[in-house]
Amino acid sequence: MNFSDHLIIFPVLLPLVAGIGLLALRGAGPDVQRGISLAATFALVPLAIALFAASADGTYAVYRLGNWEAPFGIVLVADRLAAWMLLITAAVASFALLYAVNGTDLEGRHFHVLFQLQLFGLNGAFLTGDLFNLFVFFEILLLASYGLLLHGGGRLRVKAGLHFVVINLIGSTLFLFAVGTLYGATGTLNMADLALRLAASPAGNTALVQSAALLLFVVFALKAALVPLYLWLPAAYGQTSAPVAALFAIMTKVGVYSMLRVYSLFTGLGAGPLDGLFDPWLLPLALLTLALGVLGAAASRGLRQQTAYFVVVSVGTLLAALALGTPGTLAAGLYYLPHSTFASAALFLLADSIARARGTLGDRFEPGPALPHAAWLGGLFFAVAVAVAGLPPLSGFLAKFMLLQAAVATPHANAVFAVVLVGGLIGVVVLARSGSLLFYRSQSAEGVGPSPTVATMAPVAGLLALTAALTIAAGPVSEAAGDIASQLHAPRLYIDAVLGARP
Amino acid sequence: MDALLALVIGVLTAAGVFLALRPRTFPVVLGLTFLSYAVNLFLFVMGRLAVGVPPIVSETASAYTDPLPQALVLTAIVISFGMTAFVIVLALKARAELGNDHVDGLEHETDRHA
């Protein structure tokens, strides 16, 4: 056994070990904690790149925990999609943590421990090949996210946190009901094995497995913040601290990822009881999510809340790409996924800097003092807004262009074009209004809060550089996204790789 | 036996949903607890009901019960126990921060404008 055989377990183990180590070293002072946390997070980037490179030729890395063969044992599976998600998570987490070490991490206790455990849950959820393990990793990332969400405390944050926790606990209960029903109907929880058994499930079980699959859909829709289950998101993301919100930009994508993974397997074989079960629902709900997200952004009273609504918009766009279901739209969605994550994370971080510089006014849309270093802050805001709104030259424009180009041939092209384009226009107007209010309608010459430093601006610039890199490398990246999409459309390969894995 | 268990799970779930929709945090926490009881029981019986047979291999046993749901339910119990503890602490913190135990932090509807 050499290192590359065990590569897949490291993105899961490293944050767990780092988290436990940080807990043991809690008396060691902030510099040690920050050093370990940063090192562990940065180390995820080369690990994810190595996994991505290993999966690029279409191989599935299957790792049998405890060396039991699937479907009896639990497996971790790294395919292109999982490696892609790991890479995005590692990138966002690195920049969020770089921002957090400017002082946010000292506003409460155990920030770094929770941060690492959140990464542990995220990476595990992306890699697991077992439905019950997906539930367990969901719980891990949620429990860490509860702690992170409340980090720093405060009245509004506690209130938003209470809603977030309660709704997610109900979601977890529904997840367990769905898992239990599927187990009762098929006798397995390995996702590859479930796919086979569902495709061959007897007619008497159809209603049972359909209701289980729809329950799972509700759970994933809740995580992804699909209409009508998105109401928790603006308050929770808008009230929490900036690096946490930036990290949470990937958390809604866990719901989208789970939908992609589960439904590509469960409905991909064709002729099963779940075939076409979601088609009438997903596209209208996705477009409605997009529309309501844009309207919410227009009605927001603060920049952070507005950013949270743009997260909802990105979920709507992503799920629309998923719902259209052709390889082209799926590839566009997978290209849009990192872009939207980076862009909304950058806007969350920037909103925090702006709010701090405005002192007691915070991020509320009211005319306030002139901002210190307004040219720098304003320039960054302009660039980030361009990325969030999906204007050229940044990658959001390319992603939407690819999506619409691929959507032309689908039967619902009219609705998709109308909602995406009008939504995009309103998004531009909304962000332009926010920017002009924050930067131009200033009343006094002096800022009242601490001025932003290079250390707080660098993570924002870094995330922007990533979207710029996505634009410059659009050719290879969209090819990679196309490869991921084609792999998702061939679930038989995944099943063979998992169930055929022999020592 | 099957009907009784189904009825128990149903009643627990109904009570849990009703309580989770109440406006105070204490009933909500109770509701979440009821829901987790219901789902634990549900998971447990998903391995089918069997009385007096072992879940692990033994030389004398003539039949077995499915051990996997027992493992699953053990995990689910631990998780729901931890979550309940967390939500209780959070509810207490919300009570302290917001000054009342309403889930929206509003004692009366008029507080919204206060």
Encode pLDDT of B33-68 as tens digits. 999 999 999 998 888 888 888 888 888 888 888 888
Residue A359 has pLDDT above 70, yes or no: yes
Instruction: Tell me if B114 is assigned to some domain.
Output: no
DSSP A10-26: HHHHHHHHHHHHHHHTT
Partners of residue B35 in chain A, C-beta under 8 Å: 169-170, 173
Residue of chain A minimizing CA distance to B84: A169
pLDDT recorded at residue A429? 94
Dist. CA A463–CA A252, nearest whole Å: 18
Q: Confirm if A333 and A318 have CB atoms less than 8 A apart.
A: yes
pLDDT recorded at residue A258? 94
Task: Round the average pLDDT of chain A to a whole number and report it.
Answer: 89
Tell the residue number behind the tokens 């994933």, with chain if given: A220
Tell the residue number behind the tokens 């802050």, with chain if given: A377
Q: Determine the residue type at A443.
A: Q
Share of chain A above pLDDT 70, in %: 98
Residue of chain A minimizing CA distance to B13: A173
Phi, psi of A399, rounded to the nearest 5 degrees:
-60, -45
Residue A48 has pLDDT above 70, yes or no: yes
Secondary structure (3-state) at A58: coil
Instruction: Tell me if B15 is assigned to some domain.
Output: yes
Task: Residue B97: give the domain boundaries.
Answer: 2-49+65-107
Residue A187's region, left for phi above 0, alpha for psi from -120 to 50, else beta, is left
Instruction: Tell me if B34 is assigned to some domain.
Output: yes
Query: Which of B26, B33, B46 best tests the A interface by mutation, with the highest count of A CBs <10 A?
Result: B46
Decide if B79 and A158 are in contact by the 8 Å CB cutoff: no
Element (H, E) at A78: strand A74-78
Cα angle vertex A110, ends A105, A111, to 5°?
35
Dist. CA A180–CA A187, nearest whole Å: 10
> Is some CB atom of chain A closer than 8 A to the CB atom of B55?
no
Residue of chain A minimizing CA distance to B87: A165
Q: What is the ipTM of this complex?
A: 0.92
Number of domains in chain B: 1
The mean per-residue pLDDT over the stretch A72-88 comes to: 92
Decide if A158 and B87 are in contact by the 8 Å CB cutoff: no
Secondary structure (3-state) at A325: coil
Partners of residue B28 in chain A, C-beta under 8 Å: 166
Residue A59 has pLDDT above 90, yes or no: no
Residue of chain B minimizing CA distance to A235: B104
pLDDT recorded at residue A290? 94
Residue A503 has pLDDT above 50, yes or no: no
In this structure, of A315-329, A338-352, A360-374, the range with the lowest mean pLDDT score is A360-374
> Is some CB atom of chain B closer than 8 A to the CB atom of A109?
no
Strand partners, A178: none
Secondary structure (3-state) at A377: helix
A341-374 in b/e form (b: 16+ CB < 10 A) is: bbbbbbbbbbbbbbbbbbeebbbbbeebbbbbbb
Which residue from A274, A464, A386, A341 is spatially nearest to A333, judged by alpha carbons? A341
Place A221 in a pLDDT band, splitting at 50, 70 and 90.
Answer: very high
For chain A, the structural domain boundaries read 3-498
DSSP A345-367: HHHHHHHHHHHHHTGGGTTBSS-
Q: Confirm if A285 and A319 have CB atoms less than 8 A apart.
A: yes
Dist. CA A62–CA A70, nearest whole Å: 10
pLDDT recorded at residue A112? 93
Place A19 in a pLDDT band, splitting at 50, 70 and 90.
Answer: very high
Q: Give helix then strand counts, H and E, for chain A.
A: 20, 2
The pLDDT tens digits for A280-302 are 888 999 999 999 999 999 999 89
> Is some CB atom of chain B closer than 8 A to the CB atom of A170?
yes
The pLDDT tens digits for A310-330 are 999 999 999 999 888 888 999
Element (H, E) at A76: strand A74-78
pLDDT recorded at residue A319? 92
Dist. CA A81–CA A447, nearest whole Å: 46
In this structure, of A24-38, A264-278, A337-351, the range with the lowest mean pLDDT score is A264-278
Partners of residue B38 in chain A, C-beta under 8 Å: 173
Question: Angle at which helices B68-98 and A155-186 pack, to 10 degrees?
Answer: 160
Which residues 6+ apart lie within 8 Å of B55 measured at CB? Answer: B64, B65, B66, B67, B70
Place B108 in a pLDDT band, splitting at 50, 70 and 90.
Answer: low
Q: Confirm if A11 and A51 have CB atoms less than 8 A apart.
A: yes
Nearest to B43 among A162, A163, A180 (CB): A180
Partners of residue A161 in chain B, C-beta under 8 Å: 90, 94
Dist. CA A245–CA A73, nearest whole Å: 35
Decide if B97 and A146 are in contact by the 8 Å CB cutoff: no
Task: Round the average pLDDT of chain B to a whole number and report it.
Answer: 87
The domain spanning residue B36 has which CATH number?
1.10.287.3510
Secondary structure (3-state) at A458: helix
Partners of residue A231 in chain B, C-beta under 8 Å: none
| CA dist list (Å): A380 to A95, A194, A314, A331, A343 | 16, 48, 20, 29, 12
Nearest to B91 among A143, A162, A189 (CB): A162
> Is some CB atom of chain A closer than 8 A to the CB atom of B69?
yes
Residue B110 has pLDDT above 70, yes or no: no
Decide if A166 and B36 are in contact by the 8 Å CB cutoff: no
Residue A263 has pLDDT above 80, yes or no: yes
B67: number of Cβ within 10 Å: 13
> Is some CB atom of chain B closer than 8 A to the CB atom of A159?
yes
Decide if A143 and B83 are in contact by the 8 Å CB cutoff: yes
The mean per-residue pLDDT over the stretch A434-439 comes to: 88
> Is some CB atom of chain A closer than 8 A to the CB atom of B87?
yes
Which residues 6+ apart lie within 8 Å of B29 measured at CB? Answer: B84, B87, B88, B91
Which residues 6+ apart lie within 8 Å of A292 measured at CB? Answer: A227, A230, A312, A316
Nearest to A159 among B42, B87, B105 (CB): B105
Greatest Cα pair distance, chain A, in angstroms, is 74
